[in-house]
């Protein structure tokens, strides 16, 4: 979608000519823009697989029960 197309759509919306085909066009355009931005951001994107939570096999010693962890003991 060119800048001219965007300008024409904006004018039509402001004039009250908003209809379902225009809505579908905007949804499709926004989806394309989102995919392009995700590709451009790479691993900076918050939902990128590289940013997933990394779990430890063994909890850190600071969270062990001998230290009085409320997390591992559960709520009382």
Q: Could you read off the pLDDT of 11-27 as tens digits, one per residue?
A: 998 999 889 988 999 99
How far is it, in rounded angstroms, from Cα 51 to Cα 4? 38
The more confident residue out of 54 and 24 is 24
Domain boundaries, the chain: 20-53
Copy the structure tokens of residue 75: 């709520």
Give the per-residue pLDDT at 55.
85
Q: Which of 14, 39, 13 is nearest to 25 (CA)?
A: 13
pTM of the model: 0.57
């Amino acid at each position: 979608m060119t800048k001219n197309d965007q300008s024409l759509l904006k004018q039509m919306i402001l004039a009250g000519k908003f209809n379902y085909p225009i809505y579908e066009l905007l949804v499709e355009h926004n989806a394309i823009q989102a995919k392009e931005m995700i590709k451009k951001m790479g691993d900076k994107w918050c939902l990128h697989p590289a940013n997933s939570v990394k779990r430890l096999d063994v909890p850190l010693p600071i969270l062990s029960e001998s230290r009085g962890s409320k997390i591992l003991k559960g709520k009382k």
